[in-house]
Amino acid sequence: QVQLVECGGGLVQAGGSLRLSCAGSGSIFRIATVIWYRQGPGKQRDMVATITSGGNTNYADSVKGRFTISRDNAKNTVYLQMNSLKPEDTAVYYCYANPGAVNYWGQGTQVTVSS
């Protein structure tokens, strides 16, 4: 069983920065690929960034060069550093993992970027 808990969201002005955290329980989290998704108002849930257990990363084109995903396996935590935020980044951000082919989602954290 894995539980994912996100934190770090909030209200920020355009151009500002936030760092989201996804804390996972269970040792299996350390070998899981973790994905950050986001869902804006009236939009579908989209992939933002991915990190494998070995640290390989992938980003949506819309966030490349602005967002950085990283992980600290000693702390069972994955981070999403978000810089140069834009109003269109406003969304609920979720972390996701599926170790052992079981899907786990966090509860989400709201990010609001004002213009």
Tell me if 94 sits within 8 A of 106, measured CB to CB. Answer: yes
pLDDT (tens digit, 9 = 90+) per residue, 2-48?
899 999 999 999 999 999 999 998 778 888 999 999 999 999 999 99
Report residue 113's pLDDT band, with 50, 70 and 90 as the boundaries: very high
Tell me if 2 sits within 8 A of 101, measured CB to CB. Answer: no
CA pair distance 113, 101, nearest whole angstrom = 34
Average pLDDT, the chain: 95
Tell me if 45 sits within 8 A of 52, measured CB to CB. Answer: no
Tell me what pLDDT residue 107 has: 96
Tell me what pLDDT residue 43 has: 95
